[in-house]
Amino acid sequence: MTDYDRIAGALAFVRANFQAQPSLDEMAAQAHWSPFHFQRKFQEWAGVTPKKFLQYLSLDHAKRMLRERVSVAEAAHETGLSGTGRLHDLFVTLEGMTPGEYRHGGADLALQYSFGNSPFGRYLVASTAKGVCKLVFVNDEAAAVAALHQEWPNARIMATENAFHLQVGRFFARDFPPTERLHLHLKGTLFQLKIWESLLHVPEGELRTYSQLAEAAGNGAAVRAAGTAIGANPVGYLIPCHRVIRQTGELGQYRWGATRKAALVGWEAAHTAPNRAAPVAAAAAY
């Protein structure tokens, strides 16, 4: 039996039995490995630990239950968790919000958004009271606003410029003192947050490969997972995912187009300032 066969069997076992919340020993037994060896091999192949994979499955199931308008207590029970407290912790850790906030589509969340111009095109920036939560380059403003409403159907979304948005404008204009920090308010898995944090440490004018980012995040084998996390970056340019290239040296894909990525990389290489400060993710969950 190959390593792939063992991991595939373990993945199938966890998917079929996640409501029983199997232990590491039980999962390892499916692969006929010791728990220590199974943990290491599983992370190499899946990009996350067995515990984290089980949490993801549990979260997805709970989200489906909540979308069907069941109570938080029922969702916790059907997911195999011991109570609403564990479900609450799971949501806050992995989804960046409480089960109630998810169930109500961000009903308790207030978002402000505005548009601005940058050297790389028009953009939409949105923020909560804690910091910038979204920055996307746009070609169609109406479609960008519609996407924001679709992401948070019950949130209070207002077209209002605020201090965070003005900071973003000054960041694009390179009028951002080294002592100033732009607060980000992000939601993401622990691994995504680690990748995004690693991106913040890539200096302007420099590039990194996907494998280098995965290694900087603490899991050099999770290259594919690192690529997925980079693609899910909610704040373009502020978290500089454009500074990541393929191992071959090719620029690779970019959410807002290969031409814009080439422009970003070239512009930064020509305007590198060694003392320019990077924004700091001061808050990591809604």
- Is 133 annotated in the active site? no
**Type of residue at 6:** R
Report residue 224: phi and psi, to 5°. -65, -40
Give the containing element (helix H, strand E) for 94: helix 84-94
Tokens linked to 131: 């910091």
Contacts (Cβ under 8 Å, ≥6 apart) of 83: 73, 76
Q: Under a CB-based contact definition with an 8 Å cutoff, are residues 183 and 200 in contact? A: no
Q: Under a CB-based contact definition with an 8 Å cutoff, are residues 54 and 22 in contact? A: yes
**Closest-CA residue to 48 (of 37, 36, 56):** 56
CA distance 20 to 28: 15
Do β-strands 183-185 and 208-209 pair in parallel, antiparallel, or remain unpaired? Answer: unpaired
CB atoms within 10 A of CB 160: 12
**Closest-CA residue to 152 (of 118, 126, 189, 115):** 126
Catalytic residue among 94, 241, 265, 278: 241
- Which residues are known to be catalytic? 241
